[in-house]
Amino acid sequence: MTSRTDAYTEKLSVITSIARADTMAPSMPVDTYVQEANDLYHWCRDDRDALVHVGLDWSVVEDLPIRADAAGEAQSIWITAASTRERAQKQWAAAARPAYELRDELVHHMRFAFRKRSDLSAAVKSTAAGRGDANMIQDLIDLAVMGRSHLDLLTAVGFDPSELDRAAALSNELGSLKAEASVERANDPEKKLIRDKAYTHLKEAVDRIRECGRFAFRKNPERAHGYAGEYTRKKNARRKLRDKQDTPPID
């Protein structure tokens, strides 16, 4: 039996070759659509002769489970990437505030400790002038190096030297965290596009089979029933009920 990962690998070149212009975003939850595709596969196997008779290429049916597994795997990859990105962003948000506070505290102490050294005061002023996350990360290591080089001046104003070690460690930690969040954010659109293309590839087969099934069994409601999407049917039924309830009574 082919695993979802194997199906995804097998179909990846076909999926990625689908043009953006032909790519459709899912109109329903992908896991639900994948399940409906698998249900359709098992339903239509008993109707092979009737479906082939109206022009269905049976290889489309045989390929359906592979397309479904590939779409399911593509969905999982995208969801995992989105979850990783969200986790990295939350970790960054939690760590960034104390990091900015530490940077500001280092600048505050150094401005006072170095006030009689114009060269050092100018260096602190230049470091503190930058803005943005990347600049803050670099500031922490720069201030740590500067502080260690002039520790006597800092300790003379009651500064705790361990804060320099904390700044250096935090700079390294935040650099990695920011890189992870940025990489995941950059990869996310590509993984979503592949998910959409995998869904499109699956939908192509599902639509073809359903179209032939509805035509072949247009006079047999019992069999035709299996060629209608359950999710869409229920959604339409709920909308009709809602519309009926919203319609004012006729006097």
- Closest Cα partner for 156 from 189, 211, 115, 194? 115
Instruction: Read off φ and ψ for residue 159, nearest 5 degrees.
Output: -80, 140
Instruction: Read off φ and ψ for residue 218, nearest 5 degrees.
Output: -65, -20
| Domain assignment of residue 242, yes or no | no
What domain range is 110 assigned to? Answer: 4-237
| Domain assignment of residue 160, yes or no | yes
Instruction: Read off φ and ψ for residue 75, nearest 5 degrees.
Output: -65, -45
Separation of alpha carbons 140 and 145, rounded Å: 9
Q: What local confidence, expressed as pLDDT, does residue 137 receive?
A: 92
For tokens 């940025």, what's the residue? 182
The answer to whether the CB of 4 falls within 8 A of the CB of 80 is no
Q: What local confidence, expressed as pLDDT, does residue 226 receive?
A: 92
| Encoded tokens for 240 | 């009709």
* Type of residue numbered 70: A
Q: What local confidence, expressed as pLDDT, does residue 240 receive?
A: 57
The answer to whether the CB of 92 falls within 8 A of the CB of 55 is no
Separation of alpha carbons 208 and 213, rounded Å: 9
| Encoded tokens for 187 | 């990869």
| Domain assignment of residue 180, yes or no | yes
| Domain assignment of residue 248, yes or no | no
Distances (CA, A) of 11 to 78, 198, 232: 16, 8, 27
Separation of alpha carbons 177 and 220, rounded Å: 60
Rg (the chain; Cα; Å): 30
| Domain assignment of residue 244, yes or no | no
pLDDT along the chain (251 residues), means of 10: 87 96 94 95 96 97 97 93 80 87 95 94 90 90 95 94 94 83 68 95 97 96 89 62 57 49
Q: What local confidence, expressed as pLDDT, does residue 245 receive?
A: 59
Total domain count, the chain: 1
This prediction has a pTM of 0.67
Q: What local confidence, expressed as pLDDT, does residue 184 receive?
A: 58
| Domain assignment of residue 243, yes or no | no
